[in-house]
Chains A and B, each alone.
Chain A
Amino acid sequence: MKRRQYLIGALSLAVAFVVFVIPFIFVFLNAAKTAAESATLDFSWPREWRFWQNLVEVVQARDYMLLLAYFNSTVITVGAIALMVVSGAMVGYLLQRRRTPWNRIIYGFVLAGLIIPPAVVPTIWLLQQIGLFKSITGMIFIQCAYGLGFTVLLYRAFIATIPRDLDEAAIIDGAKPWQVFFKVILPLLKPVTVTVIVVQSITIFNDFTHPLYYLPGAENVTVQLTLYNFQSQFVSQMNLLFMNILLVTVPPLIVFVFFNRQIVAGMTSGAVKG
């Protein structure tokens, strides 16, 4: 590495630190302050560290609302992803393996799902008709429907790398189509499945708009809704608001540390495919 590259690297690091890291440090410092001290919003070292007390206070706020929110968000995320993985992989498999005019239509729907914004009010009406409005179950189906396009594309691309000989061998051995898929293909999809899980869990966990529309009511809060609602509740307690932002930032940070490679793979898959 040349001297020049060191210099540019160090300079870039300094700029990146100011632009991208300092805002998070600001949140962290303010999350550790007293209410009075954080009210001034300045960038200073806390005079008195109240990190733990603030944490406890946020968690206990409104009858442990935050814990309920984490629980709800987890249920929605896990449920939606489980549905998405199985049903999405089946479509990706079919799209890649069986080439007929129908493919174009299915593919068109997949792209529509990626591009078109959901029609929210009619969806609410529909959810009310089938009794799923304001229910976690309804939210799981919604998140699954909205994430399917992305999932199908990833699976289709990955399945193209799995030789057909494998399916054919299984068929000759007398396996039924569903057995071929669930016993032979699905286990081979593990790498892309990890990518789907990681990327979609971040998307669903961070989603604010759809729970706002489809999950009103105190018993159905999700993590992002709680954060938004606490904004008005903690109006004179900025420290708690910042603590809450911090708590919402931590899960993606952990996922990022452990699944960096899968996230990058998932998020850039469009780049080379176009």
Chain B
Amino acid sequence: MNLPTGRQAGSAPSHGRGSTAATQAPAKRRGSPYPYWFVLPAGAIFGIFFLAPTLASFYFALTAWDLFSIRFIGFDNFVQFFREPFLMQGLVNTLLFASITSAAKTVLGLLIAVLLTSGIFAQGLLRSIVFFPVLVSTIGIGLMFAELMHPTEGAINLALAAIGIDGPGWLTNPSLALFSVAMVDIWRGVGLATLIYIAGLSTIAQDYYEAARIDGATRWQQFWRVTVPLVRPATTTVVILSLIGGLRLFDLIWAMTRGGPGFSSDVLASVIYKQYQAGFYGLSTAGNVILFLLIGLIILPLAWWFNRKEVEQ
């Protein structure tokens, strides 16, 4: 699937336009060879099971709603959301978690990708090892690390104790819990970032490096002046994918801390689930609306900004 950007974006449309011109006249008479009903099966499924509930959520978010009754209450749910300290904390944690994990995945992913394309020993094996956690069930990973991070009996703290370090309560210390989960999320997701960067690096022509070497650039300068700018499409993908993933994250948090201790590692998605469990369907839906507004407000400008940069170059 290694489609270089140019070929797909550049040549396909012109090719398309050329040939439709030739077949336009007969196509009109018989109906297009590409009829719109081809969208129907997918459109119906997507419309009923995704679009309709999403649109409905803008109404339900304005109600006090349980299984037996529904009452319109205007923006009270949103007021509630921003007034309650632990709902607010969920919002702050979501942003914190998403930025930490995407920053780490981007930086580490690029560094590991550079390392794994430099022709070192066992390169292929290393790629597989780094990538494998991406495929493993998040719940499995979460439960596994919850045990490894047990404050007194967990393997991590036992290992630290063996070299004389008194390990912290990774998941029980309120100021650490969110970061411990973030670390596990980076552990799990860095393989995907690496893979995307490896694909990106492979599209950079060696000529650039040779030219840089002739100009006397050091390896460090080559990295900053050649690799980083030319691998930008991959960076865009990594940043955007990990931000979306980080902002929506639920399963890993739920398997490891359930938002605890207290509310210290609650994120929007876990808050939404808790409100649902408590039977506050309207409030839960309001949380959902806030989550997708937040994602839209972050992702859309960012994607636009990345695209503009690319065009400028």
Contact with B along A130-159 (1 / 0, CB 8 A): 000000000001101110100010100110
Q: Which residue of B lies closest to A13 (CB)?
A: B122
Give CA–CA (A238, B137) in the complex, Å. 18
Q: Which listed residue (A120, A212, A256) contacts B132, Cβ 8 A?
A: A256
Q: Which residue of A lies closest to B116 (CB)?
A: A12
The answer, yes or no, to whether A195 is at the interface (CB within 8 Å) is yes
A26–B195 touching, CB < 8 Å: no
Question: Which applies to chain B's interface (DSSP): helix, strand, loop or mixed?
Answer: helix
The answer, yes or no, to whether B145 is at the interface (CB within 8 Å) is yes
A119–B12 touching, CB < 8 Å: no
Complex contacts, B299 vs chain A, CB 8 Å? 115
A41–B147 touching, CB < 8 Å: yes
Complex contacts, B120 vs chain A, CB 8 Å? 1, 5-6, 8-9, 12
A260–B128 touching, CB < 8 Å: yes
Question: Which applies to chain A's interface (DSSP): helix, strand, loop or mixed?
Answer: helix
Contact with B along A177-218 (1 / 0, CB 8 A): 100110000000000100100000010011011001100000
Complex contacts, A120 vs chain B, CB 8 Å? 272, 276, 284, 288
Give CA–CA (A171, B203) in the complex, Å. 37
Pick the interface stretch among B95-103, B217-225, B243-251. Answer: B243-251
A119–B155 touching, CB < 8 Å: no
Give CA–CA (A256, B130) in the complex, Å. 13
* Contact of A177 with B155 at beta-carbon distance under 8 Å, contacts A270-B237, A274-B237 already known: no
The answer, yes or no, to whether B234 is at the interface (CB within 8 Å) is yes
The answer, yes or no, to whether A86 is at the interface (CB within 8 Å) is yes
A252–B137 touching, CB < 8 Å: yes
A121–B291 touching, CB < 8 Å: no
The minimal Cβ–Cβ distance linking B247 to chain A, given in whole angstroms, is 8
B46–A145 touching, CB < 8 Å: yes
B130–A16 touching, CB < 8 Å: yes
The answer, yes or no, to whether A53 is at the interface (CB within 8 Å) is no
The answer, yes or no, to whether B74 is at the interface (CB within 8 Å) is no
Contact with A along B223-253 (1 / 0, CB 8 A): 0000000000110111001001000101100
Pick the interface stretch among B49-57, B83-91, B171-179, B208-216. Answer: B49-57
The answer, yes or no, to whether A47 is at the interface (CB within 8 Å) is no
The answer, yes or no, to whether B19 is at the interface (CB within 8 Å) is yes
B33–A167 touching, CB < 8 Å: yes
The answer, yes or no, to whether B68 is at the interface (CB within 8 Å) is no
The minimal Cβ–Cβ distance linking B308 to chain A, given in whole angstroms, is 12
The minimal Cβ–Cβ distance linking A132 to chain B, given in whole angstroms, is 9
Complex contacts, A233 vs chain B, CB 8 Å? none
B158–A43 touching, CB < 8 Å: yes
Q: Which listed residue (B16, B192, B288, B292) contacts A267, Cβ 8 A?
A: B192
Complex contacts, B140 vs chain A, CB 8 Å? 227, 245, 248-249
Q: Which residue of B lies closest to A126 (CB)?
A: B53
Complex contacts, B33 vs chain A, CB 8 Å? 97, 167-168, 171, 177, 180
The minimal Cβ–Cβ distance linking B236 to chain A, given in whole angstroms, is 5
Give CA–CA (A116, B291) in the complex, Å. 9
Q: Which listed residue (B13, B39, B197, B296) contacts A90, Cβ 8 A?
A: B39
Give CA–CA (A144, B46) in the complex, Å. 8
Q: Which residue of A lies closest to B241 (CB)?
A: A270
A13–B8 touching, CB < 8 Å: no
Complex contacts, B115 vs chain A, CB 8 Å? 8, 12
Contact with A along B176-206 (1 / 0, CB 8 A): 0000000000010000100111111001000
- CB proximity to B under 8 Å, residues A224-274: 224, 227-228, 231, 238, 241-242, 245, 248-249, 252-253, 255-256, 260, 263-274
Give CA–CA (A204, B13) in the complex, Å. 33
The answer, yes or no, to whether B144 is at the interface (CB within 8 Å) is yes
Give CA–CA (A181, B125) in the complex, Å. 40
8 closest cross-chain pairs (CB), A and B: A9-B121, A119-B57, A265-B1, A87-B42, A9-B120, A145-B49, A87-B41, A122-B53
Known: A119-B289, A126-B49. 8 other contacts (CB 8 A): A9-B122, A10-B122, A121-B288, A227-B140, A228-B139, A253-B135, A274-B233, A274-B307
